[in-house]
Structure 1
Amino acid sequence: MYEDGRFKPDPQCYSPIIDSLCKERRIDEHASLVSGKKHLNLVEEMFLRGVKPDLVTYNSLINSLCHSVQWKEATRLCNRMLDEGIAPDVVTFNTVIDALCKERRTKEALSVLELMSHRGMRLGIVTYNSLIYGMCLTDQWDETTRLFDEMVGQGVLPDIITLRILLDALFQGRMPEEAHKVLETRVKYGMELSKITCSMLIDGYCFCGKMDKAKKVIDLMVIKHHVPDIASCYKALVNGYMQAKRIGEALRLVEEMIEQGVTPDVETLKALRGLRPKRHVVSAE
């Protein structure tokens, strides 16, 4: 409280307001909330009022600046934070790495990763997911594999986000064998294959024309009693068979769907209409 009895704001007062505005990317409005002077920098305004920004405040501002690609300002704030004796935490580093990777600046992201390691920070799934995404985005497959192996070796198991990033990228790059290795790693460490993972695998294998592998995944889903949830997977597989000109297998799969209690939708039935092989009649001479 000030000497005249007025309330003195502290970092805990500023932080939730700053965080809310940063999430809305309204950086230019920060200063106006404090004093109505839109051209004042918020951090400077806080110092003028005798309030030192805390780590939460800095993290919110750095996050917003990084994702607004205002690297110069973000760097300035990082340096100001260090000058004030406030050490960056995992959230700070993850924020910078994520933003750099999304901008395809993977070399700089790896430099930040190295800095984290030097500071003895344990790398978590958020850090690895950001880096793997950046490597996939820039087609650095060797680095992607290295990071994935390092992650698992450190005891950080891939989550659904990791799988989605990797499987989407590998299948789009038509590398189904690499995608299968990711799957094997998950199974090796006793991680359950979810319905979402199975769906991604089926879509990916169909996209690459690996129909036999796609069928094995759907058989696995049936064994694990995921039947009520696999109508879309059956549909993807039927479409894949038709694109591969394997009409007989597409028709047999529809029969299997019905046996499993999965009703083909109108679109699937319409696509199959007229595709049933015709019988050849041998005329007597």
Structure 2
Amino acid sequence: MWARGRRFCSGGGVGEGGWGELLQPFGLEQLSRSLNRVTPDRLCKLLELPLDAGTSVELFRWARTQPGYAHSAAAYHAVVDKLGRAGDFNAVSALLAESAAEGVVLKEPLFIVLMKWLGRRGLPGRAARVLDEMQPRFKCRPTFRSYNVAMDILASAGCHAAVPPLFFRMVNDGAKATTFTFAVVIRALCCSVRVDSACALLREMARHGCVPDAVIYRTLVRALSRGGGAARAVRLLEEMMLMGWDPDAETFTDAVRGLCESGEIRAAGRLVDRMLARGCAPTAATYGALLRGLCRAGMVDEAGALLARAVPAPTAAQFNAVVQGYAAQGRLREAERLVREGMAAGGCRPDAFTFNILIHGLCRAGRLGSAWARLREMPRPDVVTYTIMVQALCRRARWEEAGEVVEEMRTRGLSLNATGWNVVVAGLCKAGRAGDAVEVVRRMKPARPDIVTFNSLIHGLCEAGRVEEATGLARSLLAEGVAANAVTYKIMIRSLLRRGRWREALTWAEEMAGRGWGLDAAACNGLMRALCMGGDVDRALAVLERMVGAGGAAPNPASYNILMAGLCRAGRVHAAVELLGEMLRRGSAPDVVSYNTVVGGLCRAGRMTEAKGLVERLHVEGPLRPDAVTYNTLVSWHCKAGEVREAVAVLETAVGRGVCPSARTWRVLLSNIVGDDS
């Protein structure tokens, strides 16, 4: 290369074929014939030329063949940078292995460059693993620079959970954390919804000799505001200003939004005033958050006044927030006046959202004619507009008009999406027209029915008594390209239980548990009731244990009452008494039905003394008190045993405790007394 250059310069021109030779691509053959020796520094300069990765590696390997030549750490850095840019990380691994064999001590910047290229290629885990090899393989101790790069790559790739462990490893390795380190870790913690840990780490910064910067404060204020910690966010905002950092409009807006979402509207207003006093102009997003907060709090008139007097150049979105507030309160006249007069005065035109808000409000108020008139005023009604109208018509069972709306959509080149069709299917099923709903699902185009559609249809078929058809549909969902979810199973279980088909319901429940879904308390109670009625109390007890165990629904007093009644009917009173005690130990408060169930079981088993003892304990210990049913049970069973005097004593006790006997109590007692006299 250099020889070629000398010939060009010395000859004063280019001879025959000279330009062609000069313009030939760079080749190692010419370089090897050159009289100039390639040193590591010259090799680095050559590698900076726009050579492809393959040629760069060839050049790197050729240089090693020179007598007395040894690669430098800088040469390895240059070739690794070139290969990393090309994404050839296998070649990088091979070269790094050669460096270790040659005894070349690589420098930290090489590994930082390698990690950055790995991160850009979407390999954050591999980038972080570079840290693991630096010290043991290459005798290069990573400093805070390497750790910072690795943590930033992980956080930027969304691997937030991997960042804090790497930070603690860095601290344990003795690397000094910087403000940037804390910024990356705090961001990762906030993204992992570990805001308390992020705030705790903020307080640790001083111990490491670091001062929080504006980026850290902004990150925490945003995370706290979005996570329901608006008051803490405002305190941190105050601290940020005391530390000499000026919050930008976006940070103020995050705090204002958080206060509004937590109902602290007055505090949000004061914060906007503070923002203005510091010379930070509120943005459209700031005023939008405040307006929506006022409307959610029912302060729509205040929102309207703010929009009219304080908001500079209000946008359509800000008007829409107030229009939505009026519509939610049913104040449609004020909403329409704001659209007609307020938006015109503000130089703002109503958009599709504005019309959709008004149309939805009119439909909720039953003013479908006015809603149609508004729709006709729209330059281009969209799918949302028509879906609102279809939903309103379906709720009023005006099916023919709903069909006309769908047909009009087709003429405009629009079609209902899955949400819109689901409204139609659910409406038909609710009206008892499951057959029509089936036909609608078959004709859905271009939208495809989703699991919500099929669940509505399965529920409608079950309600119409077409359980076999519903079962077939539920079993064939995979063929339709849809996977059944927990709602599908619950619909089938409840429907089967209502029809006394508890064995089939139990099959569905077991299959549901196998998929990792838990039944709700109502379905579990229905299963246990059916099993107890069928005499399979042990299986019902197993359902209870499943509820208490792996992620099932928490059993309620009714769950235990069903089982205790089943045990008593099966003559297993002792087990019912034990279950009552287990109920207390598990922190589920028994109700009076629980005690009455056990009292009845004890009486049926002839254990009257224990039953009366339980009633006395209930009366003394509280907080429940025996009721008329409790004393009716005791009176009835005493009479059945021929113990009329004891029955009268129980009645006197009940009256003395303020419990009024029912007509059944008197009837049972009198019939036995008359029987004794005769």
TM-score of the pair, normalised by structure 1: 0.77
1:66 counterpart (394, 403, 426):
394
The one-character-per-residue Cα deviations of 1:50-85 (angstroms, maximum 9, x if unpaired) are: 623211010001001011111122122111111111
245-254 or 166-175: bigger deviation: 245-254
- Does 2:421 align with 1:96? no
- Does residue 257 (structure 1) correspond to residue 583 (structure 2)? The answer is yes
**1:167–1:200 CA contact under 8 A, matched in 2:** yes
Residue 17 (structure 1) aligned with residue 17 (structure 2): no
Tell me, yes or no, if the aligned pair for 1:25 and 1:64 is still in contact at 8 Å.
no
Q: 1:226 to 1:125 in 2, by over 3 A?
A: closer
Cα displacement string for residues 5-43 of structure 1 (whole angstroms, at most 9, x for unaligned residues):
975534332112222333x25234x62xxxxxxxxxx43
Q: Which moved more, 1:223-232 or 1:96-105?
A: 223-232
More displaced, 255-264 or 163-172? 255-264
Structure 2 residue 366 is matched with structure 1 residue 26: yes
Aligned counterpart for 1:43 among listed residues 345, 354, 372? 372
1:193 counterpart = 2:514: no
* Higher relative contact order (CA closer than 8 Å, sequence separation 6+): 1
Q: CA deviation at 1:145?
A: 0.9
Contact 1:152 1:158 in 2 (8 A): no
How far apart are the structure 2 equivalents of 1:247 and 1:53?
A: 68
Match of 1:124?
450
Which protein is bigger by CA-based radius of gyration? 2
Flag structure 1 segments of 5+ consecutive residues without an equivalent: 32-41, 280-285
Q: CA deviation at 1:244?
A: 5.9
Conserved 8 A contact 1:132-1:144 = yes
- Which residue pairs with 1:34 in the alignment? none
CA offsets 1:204-245 (integer angstroms, 9 cap, x no match): 331461433221111223443879754442122213444566
**Residues 391, 423 of structure 2: 8 Å contact kept:** yes
Structure 1 residues 222 and 99: CA distance shift in structure 2, 3 A: closer
Q: Which has the higher helix share?
A: 2
Q: Which amino acid aligns with 2:464?
A: T
AA in 1 matched with 2:546? L
Structure 2 unaligned residues grouped into runs of 5+: 1-343, 608-678
- Residues of 2 paired with 1:64 and 1:214: CA distance? 44
Is the alpha carbon distance of 1:249 and 1:21 closer, same or farther for their aligned partners in structure 2, counting shifts above 3 Å?
farther
Counterpart CA distance in 2 for 1:128 and 1:227 is 25
Q: Is the 8 A contact 2:565 2:598 kept in 1?
A: no
1:204 paired residue among 523, 527, 530 = 527
Q: Calculate percent identity across the aligned residue pairs.
A: 25
| Change over 3 Å in CA distance of 1:10–1:174 after alignment to 2 | same
For the residues of structure 1 that align with 2:429 and 2:416, how far apart are their CA atoms?
A: 19
Aligned match of 2:559? 233
CA distance in 2, matches of 1:51, 1:78: 18
Relative to structure 1, is the Cα distance of residues 183 and 143 closer, same or farther in structure 2, using a 3 angstrom cutoff?
Answer: same
Distance 1:20 1:125 in 2: 29
Asked if residue 172 in structure 1 is aligned to residue 498 in structure 2, the reply is yes
Structure-2 residue corresponding to 1:143: 469
- Deviations along 1:229-273, one digit per CA (max 9) or x if unpaired, are 544421222134445665454334324434545453333113322
Tell me how many residue pairs correspond in the alignment: 258
| Partners of 1:111 and 1:224 in 2: CA distance | 41
**What is the alpha-carbon root mean square deviation over aligned residues?**
3.1
User: Letter of the aligned partner of 2:523 in structure 1?
Assistant: M
